[in-house]
Each structure stands twice: as C-alpha cells, then as structure tokens.
Amino acid sequence: MSQHASRLGGLRGRSHIPFGAPPHQRLRRIPRRPRRIAMLSVHTSPLHQPGTGDAGGMNVYIVELAKRLAAIDIEVEIFTRATTAALPPSVELAPGVLVRHVDAGPYEGLAKEELPAQLCAFTHGVMRAWAGHRPGYYDLVHSHYWLSGHVGWLATERWGVPLVHAMHTMAKVKNAALAAGDTPEPAARVIGEQQIVRAADRLIANTGGEADELVHHYEAARELVAVVHPGVNLDRFRPADGRAAARARLGLPADALIPLFAGRIQPLKAPDILLHAVAHLLEEDPSLRERMVVPVVGGPSGSGLAKPEGLHKLAARLGICDVVRFRPPCTQDELADWYRAASVLVMPSYSESFGLVAIEAQACGTPVVAASVGGLPVAVRDGVSGTLIQGHDPADYARALRPFASEAGRVERMGAAAARHAESFGWDTAAAATADVYAEAMRERRRLRSAHG
C-alpha cells in the first residue's frame, strides 16, 4: 500500500471519484464546489505565447480551464513567476481570472532546470499574497507540473485546504522514451514527483493511460486519481471557411500536399522524423517536390535550445530545403489557420501527456498522423480521424503520409471525421469534471478533519 493510501486509511469504498471515468458522471452526489482557488504555474506563464520557450500545451490548458471555471462561478487566481520587471503585479486574464506575478530569481536567463532553487522565493511570494486576505480566502490549490506541486504542497499545509495536482508530464515516463541525444530528467525531479503524489488530495490525469502510469511508476492510490480529458476551444479551432481560404491567407499553394508540424522544436517532439519521412517520400516519388510544402511552425525549446539551427541543417543535409518552410510561433488564431491549411498534422512525439495540438488540428477539420504514445491514442481515433504509428521509424511515417498524396478525397473524408471526433472535447465538459474533482477533494478533507476531531 502506498504511503498516501495508508495516510487516508478508510477512504476506500467511500463516495470518491472512480479511476478511469469522468468524475462528473460517476459521483453519487455532488458536494459543494470551491468559491475561489489558487492555481499554480511556476515555470511558465499563461500569458506567454505557446510554442516559445517552455510555453506549450500546458499554457493553453491553464488558460482555457481557468476561463471555464470562472464561467461556472469559481474564481481563479493564477500564480506564476515574473519574467520581466515591466509586468504589473497582477493582470486580469478574463472576468474571474487573475494572474499574479511572483518575483523569484532573475527575470531573464533562468532555465527551467534552475528553478528548483527559486521555489522558496516563489512560495514566499504566494504566502505574502495570501497574508493580505482574510482567513479561508482560497478554498483549494490546483498545481500544474512538479515545480508547482511543491509550492502547492507547502501552501495547502499552511492554509488547511486540499491540494489537487496535475503532472502534465512525468520524469519516469519521459526517461523511458527518450529521443536519441536527449537529456534525461534528473533524479531530483523523480523524487519531487514522488513526494507530490503522496501529498496531493487528488491527482488529475489526462487519460486512463496516464492514470495507469501514476499508479505504476509512482504508487499513486487509484481512488485518488481522476481522469479528466483536456478540451479544445471549439469557437477558435473549427473548419471555418475551409482549407482553400486558409491557404490563400497564408500564401500557400491551393493544390499542395501540406504535412504540418506545429509545436516546440525539441527532440521530444521529434520534428526531425517528419523531415526524414518527407525525404523518403521525395525519393520514392520525385514528382511530389513540385506540389509539396512542409511548414514547421514553432520555436526551439528545452534541450532543443542547445542546437537551435539543428533542424535547418538537417533539412539542408536531406536536400529538402526547397519544400520545408520554417515559421516562428504564432497566435492561436493564426495557428488555427495553419491547421486548416494543412493536409495532415504530423506528431511523431516520443512522449505526450495528451497532445492538445492533435485535438486542435482535428477540430479545424485536419486529420493527424501521430505516434501511438501517451494520450495520443485517445486524442486521435486511429483509422478514422487519423493514423497512429507504432515506433519512430521515418519510413513508417512516409508510408502513412503517402495516401494523402495519392488518394483523392482522403483529406476531406478524414478531415470531416476528425472535426466530428474533436467535438466531444469541449472545455466546458473538462471544467465541469474538474470542478467535481475539487468538490470531492474538499468533501473528503472535511470528513477527515471531522474524524480526527
């Protein structure tokens, strides 16, 4: 039995959130939801542009979830590290959502790997904000990623409220599927994640597979893990006026085969596999060179910062510079146009907690070719809205992409199925399920407090 399961003793068999099912569908009764929560995102701000630095799917997740929670009358205050002196202490992101900037370490030039040394300063900033309020101001803490989990652990101990934690990625899972030449996550992170799992009142997993990983790798108590699928902004990411109009806006050929990569440029995301796959396709059918465009939309991140020009050099070595177009990270609205313009999105990642990019592309009516890792088998309906690939052999990706060049109507047929598939991943559903996780954590905290006098 895990230490956390032991600590909670008699929890088993009671009215808790069952493992592997949306909690809002299975609770026997819905306890009181929180009025206000403190949400922690230490290493990346919800105000940052996704696709730059460490900003990515987690940023989108936090922004969209916070907005939808506020819409159901749960106020959200997001604490994040200040990265410039020009930022005000707090910014209203949306009605009911406040972003608080905490001074912790130098504003610029601090890598994510250096942030553990700043957690004490960050915690101090969170406590100062809390001290200015009346007792009981925050009903619950929701932390994102392991760095935030440690701050949340201390805050909840001090405030006497529950801690709900979302890993987003896990060191043991990433280390088990490293790309060639990538850097393993340090032992300190592994230990830190184990501590958070023991401390949290509830853990939120994106998929049943992620929940299994928490149980297997970190000995999480199954009854404390709630599965809540992330959502997609269906107002922004939708087919809109179609593929031809999006291509015209982006200056892309109307009749081209366009396999798109969108995301952070780092070994984990494996954009190099797409480039190798494109080289395979062109070697097999040189005529494709006249009607293929391969956009790579995103910026260097993580271990990719060590070789920011690596992907450009690879394209040159493969002799495909004439078809590859590197584009910097862009706004969410422009990203939606890139999705709409593409024939297919390619996600060869070695690890993905969920793969929000895959859902966003499908919501825009674009099929996906992706690695069968992490949450992607949930995000992509294999054979219907896209194709899942076992392993990371570029020849397999080339084989999956070939029908998009040769089969008339394949893009439109699978794209329509992709849009239908994505409709079930709205953020309103995710927010309601998350709110129920909060409520159950609060109810159980009250029960334990009453049981111990």
CB 214 within 8 A of CB 220: yes
- 3-state per-residue secondary structure call for the chain: CCHHHHHHHHHCCCCCCCCCCCHHHHCCCCCCCCCEEEEEECCCCCCCCCCCCCCCHHHHHHHHHHHHHHHCCCEEEEEEECCCCCCCCEEEEECCEEEEEECCCCCCCCCHHHHHHHHHHHHHHHHHHHHCCCCCCCCEEEEEHHHHHHHHHHHHHHHCCCEEEECCCCHHHHHCCCCCCCCCCCHHHHHHHHHHHHHCCEEEECCHHHHHHHHHHHCCCHHHEEECCCCECCCCCCCCCCHHHHHHHHCCCCCCECEEEECCECHHHCHHHHHHHHHHHHHHCHHHHHHECEEEECCECHHHHHCCCHHHHHHHHHCCCCCEEEECCCCHHHHHHHHHHCCEEEECCCCCCCCHHHHHHHHCCCCEEEECCCCHHHHCCECCCEEEECCCCHHHHHHHHHHHHHCCCHHHHHHHHHHHHHCCCEHHHHHHHHHHHHHHHHHHHHHHHHHCC
Q: Is 434 annotated as a binding residue?
A: no
Q: Is 54 annotated as a binding residue?
A: yes
Place of tokens 């862009």: 330
Residues contacting 403, CB < 8 A, separation 6+: 410
Q: Is 57 annotated as a binding residue?
A: yes
Q: Is 438 annotated as a binding residue?
A: no
Q: Is 25 annotated as a binding residue?
A: no
Q: Is 397 annotated as a binding residue?
A: no
Q: Is 145 annotated as a binding residue?
A: yes
Q: Is 322 annotated as a binding residue?
A: no
Q: Is 116 annotated as a binding residue?
A: no
Q: Is 172 annotated as a binding residue?
A: no
Q: Is 233 annotated as a binding residue?
A: no
Q: Is 138 annotated as a binding residue?
A: no
Q: Is 426 annotated as a binding residue?
A: no
**CA dihedral angle for residue 179, residue 183, residue 189, residue 194, rounded to 10 degrees:** 30
Q: Is 337 annotated as a binding residue?
A: no
CB 38 within 8 A of CB 142: yes
Q: Is 56 annotated as a binding residue?
A: yes
Please classify residue 146 by burial: count the beta carbons closer than 10 Å to its beta carbon, then call 0-12 exposed, 13-18 middle and 19+ buried. buried
Q: Is 371 annotated as a binding residue?
A: no
Q: Is 339 annotated as a binding residue?
A: yes
Q: Is 366 annotated as a binding residue?
A: yes
Q: Is 43 annotated as a binding residue?
A: yes
Distances in whole angstroms, Cα of residue 204 to Cα of each of 265, 351, 428, 434 = 27, 18, 16, 8
Give the residue numbers of the binding site.
43, 49-50, 54-59, 112, 145, 169, 189, 264, 269, 339-340, 342, 352, 360, 366
Give the residue numbers of the binding site for 1D-myo-inositol 3-phosphate.
43, 54-59, 112, 145, 169, 189
Give the residue numbers of the binding site for Mg(2+).
339-340, 342, 366
Give the residue numbers of the binding site for UDP-N-acetyl-alpha-D-glucosamine.
49-50, 57, 264, 269, 352, 360
